[in-house]
A and B are shown apart, each in its own frame.
Chain A
Amino acid sequence: MNDDKSESKPIEEELRVLRPRELSDGFIESLHKCLDRPVPHDDGPQPRRGGSFKLFAPLAAVAALILIAFGLVRNWPIREAPAPSKNKIASPAIESPDEQVDELPRPTLIAYNRAIGNEPGSLEELLDYHARTLLPNVPDPDLAYQEWP
């Protein structure tokens, strides 16, 4: 194996006289379009994709923080939805009719029924009591029976 050109044969010398064809005009232009783009191995002055991302990422982070802070300020104090109460709502105690009658003689139907069932004057006494306590402007009914002096 010998790369020495000094020992070139006549056929080699004749072949070297021929020149490869020149490149067409569009060849360089096409390469310009492809190779002048920012690529990882290109050291040209064009901004790289990584550079634009490095510039954009901090701006995006700052914008996101501003939005989050704005949202927190608007919703401060945070109103939480009322949690369902674990305590059961106390239902009104249903009292037996006897218990109701034994307490204050309120103007209920049970109280009147109970008064009717008792002594004959009980109903009248109950009505008078209600008239005095619930209707204070009503004159004492006993006065109606008093004779005029």
Chain B
Amino acid sequence: MEDSQTWEDWIAANGPRLVLFARRWCSDHAEAEELVQEAFIRFWRTRDGVRDPRAYLYQTVRSVAVDAARSRQARKAREDTHAARRCKSPQFACDLEREERRQQIEAALARLPVEQTEVVVLKIWSALTFAQIAEVTSTPPGTVASRYRYALDNLRKVLGESEVT
């Protein structure tokens, strides 16, 4: 993304992916959108001079979402478990014939550790490189690659290779 692009261009290119990424720490779609709004405003006003604005944008969303999740846990406002909340509302849009498969995939993602799911989401749906993911998560690139590999192995086991087309 060029720096000359408007914020509408940024949202059009990254908005749904940012919300999907924020869902790692949010209960539903609307809550994730609120976090992304807050994070994007912060990003837009502080992005000057950033080496990799796209990675910085995801890093900001992650920071805001993690802080919000910690606040929720401190307040103990919700009684359901973290994994159950992640499956509360659909994270993906798909055709009706894939609806059953979508539910299986979302359930499989919810069973993964959050360190692995965030890497999968950033790699698959946000198309970030391992280096960018490492910057977003403040993790060494080698660790990011390992987490991605473990995540795919776990998903394969849960979903079953026979189901994959």
Contacts and interface: CB of A to CB of B under 8 A. Distances in A.
Interface stretch (B58-66, B74-82, B152-160): B152-160
B105 interface: yes
B48 interface: yes
A30 interface: yes
B37 A34 contact: yes
A42 to B, nearest CB: 8
Nearest to B40: A31
B46 to A, nearest CB: 8
Contacts of A119: none
A20 B16 contact: yes
Interface string A38-53: 0111000000000000
B130 A15 contact: no
B98 A17 contact: yes
Contacts of A24: 29-30, 33
Contact of A18 (B15, B92, B164, B165): B92
Given A12-B124, A41-B48, A18 B40 contact: no
Nearest to A12: B124
A11 B159 contact: yes
A1 B128 CA distance: 13
B150 interface: no
Contacts of B156: 11
A19 B94 contact: yes
Closest 7 CB pairs of A and B: A20-B16, A20-B20, A18-B92, A1-B145, A10-B164, A3-B129, A15-B124
Interface of B: 7-8, 11, 15-17, 19-20, 29-30, 33, 36-37, 40-41, 44-48, 90-94, 98, 101-102, 105, 120, 124-125, 129-130, 141-142, 144-145, 152, 155-156, 159, 161, 164-165
